[in-house]
Homo-oligomer: A and B are copies of this chain.
Amino acid sequence: MTKENQQIVLAKRPEGMPTHENFTYEDVEIKSPQKGEVVVRSLYISVDPYMRGRMSDQKSYTQPFPLNETINGTVVGEVVESEDDQLSVGDKVTGFLGWRYYNTTPASQVRKIDGEQAPLSAYLGVLGMTGLTAYFGLLDIGEPKEGETVVVSGAAGAVGMIVGQIAKLKGAHVVGIAGSDEKVNYITEELGFDAGINYKTVDDIQEALSGLCPNGVDVYFDNVGGEISDAVLNLLNSFARIPLCGAISSYNRTDGDLGPRVQTKLLKSRAKLQAFIVGDYADRFGEGVQDLAKWLSEGKLKYEETITDGFENIPDAFFGLFQGKNLGKQLVKIADPKY
């Protein structure tokens, strides 16, 4: 096999919006696998908003990406060389790997996936991190009950679109907030959300939302933070639950991110605002994947992917997340399977 490989390293920490300056492409060799290791050829690489946090050098739930080292994220690939008993050449796997054409990794660090159950790319979305994020955040923290109102921001994103559909499966009235008419049409017409708001064109988010949530808001699944969340927080019902999943509007801000303080708003409704990451639910992933795969196979759960082509375009696909360019899960396709 070829020894040609390439990786993308974090060359400089971004201040504000990341640019090409922050990344460097390096030619490297494919490391030969030792006993218990495999070489995985990347087929799809996931870019996700949370990665922006790791590019900064701040205390957070994960270590910052080290400077001048390869950026890591979730990858789907195929085994092209194996020194492990459990995995064979041709097996499809997913795991936390580097932005490289080829990763040499302990076999225990990747999980075999079944391309018959769902397309390979789904394991980076609806059956992977973003689907599980939606599942556990909504059901474990949000706990939507039949007839309640669930609002989700970033509603046409990889997490948001699954949140809204699960909320509908649970009998809730679901309103999504997204950033284009196309996205709003998609979530209402294709995914069955009860209503949607294009926050970029509406005059007053709170007023619009208030009209679409005549019974107030019981669950607010928050992917975005910022002014959208400021507005939703004025409409909370008593004992509202807010799974706090992301704050994409804030990740690239350098101005202090000022807004109305939330304390009095939460006090008025005795609301709960709880941040989480999907990793906190690692011991329950099996349960989540099972439900998601079942709904998928029954046609009760749809998903969308925005697939950018080519390893060289990973940074652009990542930048696009912050411009709202993606509908659903943003992936980068690296190659077609050989096996």
Interface residues of A (CB under 8 A from B): 53, 58-61, 222, 225-226, 229-230, 238, 244, 246-247, 250-251, 256-264, 266-277, 280
Contact = CB atoms under 8 A, between A and B. Distances in A.
A266 B260 CA distance: 16
Contacts of A264: 225, 247, 250-251, 257
Contact of A263 (B225, B256, B276): B225
Contacts of A225: 261, 263-264
A267 B246 contact: yes
Contacts of A260: 256-259
A318 to B, nearest CB: 19
The complex is assembled from copies of this chain, and their number is 2
Contact of A238 (B58, B61, B261): B61
A247 B226 contact: no
A263 B224 CA distance: 9
Contacts of A276: 270
Given A273-B273, A273-B274, A268 B60 contact: yes
Query: Which 5 A-B pairs rank lowest in CB-CB distance, beginning with the nearest?
Result: A225-B263, A247-B263, A266-B275, A272-B274, A60-B268
Given A61-B270, A250-B264, A273-B272, A258 B259 contact: yes
| Majority secondary structure of chain A interface residues (helix, strand, loop or mixed) | mixed
Contacts of A277: 270
Nearest to A58: B268
Contacts of A274: 266, 271-274
Given A257-B261, A258-B260, A275 B267 contact: yes
A226 B264 CA distance: 10
Contacts of A247: 261, 263-264, 267
A222 B250 CA distance: 24
Contacts of A262: 261-262, 273
The CB with the most chain B CB atoms within 10 A, among A244, A262, A266, is that of A262
Contacts of A275: 263, 266-267, 269-272
